[in-house]
Structure 1
């Protein structure tokens, strides 16, 4: 016999599950778009940051993506192996590592131009409704910061 459960304890009523399952679905939707470029979703996010402003430090990159530098290191190495980025140490401070786009990495930006529009279409969103949703999610994210 099924137990009676408080409606607040049902999986489908959990905000965390809605966000989690939406994130999984978004990843699945991006996969074929990014396979054409030969990169993964985490690599795409890193490339987006570099397309906004090339030659940044690994620390700045980790702050921008909200991830630990250690978690980004394998992603950086794979992009370097793909010859999309290069790394070099700051001669004035060996602890600082600069990451910059290669010629191939810069040209990939043109190949990726259609992705945001395809994502909006797949999500059934307009630019305006996507902006409102992003703003709501950002408010949530900021409220969860320690």
Structure 2
């Protein structure tokens, strides 16, 4: 059987990018059971309530919902169990240090298969206030309007 190539997106946490200011991102592997992998291959997962916790030098993913595999039997997994993340020691130490000193949180941003292996993108995030969200939306709108105006100018269209 040929080895899988490329990247296949399973789930994204768009709400995290809206509610948090992402300062740094990391790619981590996941320790999964067989039925979890089969369920992910069907494209079923939810990252909405997920967060990462560092406990005794290990990174754990909590609250991510991977539904039970429909053809699974008594070997099926628990849908919201905590899962171990595979990160380098230096990355775990860096995350732990920044979370403790700056009061950041670690949220899952995306879940995908990369060359046949399940990976998760996690981000060091700082919570946004409601006015931060409004400013971000206003900046995006202004940038979009600016680019449209430049495009119209280059095409010779005047307002």
TM range (shorter): under 0.3
TM-score, normalisation: structure 2: 0.20
| RCO comparison, higher one (Cα < 8 Å, 6+) | 2
Between structures 1 and 2, the one with greater strand share: 2
TM-score, normalisation: structure 1: 0.21
Larger Rg: 2
Between structures 1 and 2, the one with greater helix share: 1
